[in-house]
Amino acid sequence: MRIIAAVMAVGAIGFGLFTVVFGLVSPAQEPHAFHNVIVASLLIVLSAPPVIAIARDPEASARPLVMLAAVGIAALATMAMSLTLDPFTLPFVILVAVLWLLAPSRADAFPLGRPSIVLLGLTLIAAVVLVPYAVGQAELQRTDHASDHAAFFHWVEMSFYAVAIPMLGLVVALRPSAYPLAAWCAGTALVVLGLASLLLDEYVSALPSVQATAVLAIGAAMLLIAIASITSDGDRKRGIAIR
């Protein structure tokens, strides 16, 4: 299990960095600037952290596996909407299923706890913005049979990214104390999408400025809540140690 997770982590980070560097040095990639940023974030921000957590400690893999399941469901849903099997994404989904089969225990996958109404509200607002966007990108993948964007599976990957974020946000909202890593991933992914859309607004797939500003603000709020939660947990643990 550790070996598979490590290979997935190296592949996600390596291909993500390659996408960034290749996008910067190759003039042919200039039309794909926005897509390359989001694909790199999909790999480095959404995919790599949970598999790194599993590689570090397979015995405590249940919660990172829930995160990967949320991302995998998003991948399958968007490939179905697009009527397209993405050869870059499908192997990742298959390996997630293999990790689930190899998990030594799933008992702590979704522990008892209280949901967060604030995080649930933020996630629902993000979904209102991102789900129609995901549907539109999936439709482009279905209907575009000529452009390089379709040939590189960029439309379906934009759709995948847009659905994966609220899926992770829902996991965080239902059990915020158990999923701080998911909060960091979802919040950072939203910030990347918002900033990239504002800075690369002339490129295809970029969100309009109003939606981009909204997802940027939601992502920043999620990150602030995650930071506050970590600080609160640290203070509580220090208090217990002093007593």
CB 7 within 8 A of CB 91: no
Task: Report the alpha-carbon distance of residue 140 to residue 113 in Å, rounded.
Answer: 40
How many CA atoms lie within 13 Å of 151's alpha carbon, on the beta-carbon side? Answer: 4
pLDDT at site 232: 54
pLDDT at site 177: 84
Cα angle vertex 128, ends 171, 120, to 5°? 35
**pLDDT tens-place values along the chain, 243 residues long:** 999 999 999 999 999 999 999 998 999 999 999 999 999 999 999 999 999 999 999 999 999 999 999 999 999 999 999 999 999 999 999 999 999 999 988 787 888 888 999 999 999 999 999 999 999 999 999 999 999 999 999 999 999 999 999 999 999 999 888 899 999 999 999 999 999 999 999 999 999 999 999 999 999 999 998 887 765 554 344 433 334
Q: Amino acid identity of 44?
A: I
80 CB burial (10 A radius; 0-12, 13-18, 19+): exposed
User: Model pTM?
Assistant: 0.92
pLDDT at site 230: 64
Q: Amino acid identity of 93?
A: V
Task: Report the alpha-carbon distance of residue 1 to residue 102 in Å, rounded.
Answer: 6
Sorted by where each begins, the domain ranges of the chain are 2-242
pLDDT at site 235: 39
CB 223 within 8 A of CB 238: no
Tokens 């960091």 locate to: 184
pLDDT at site 231: 56
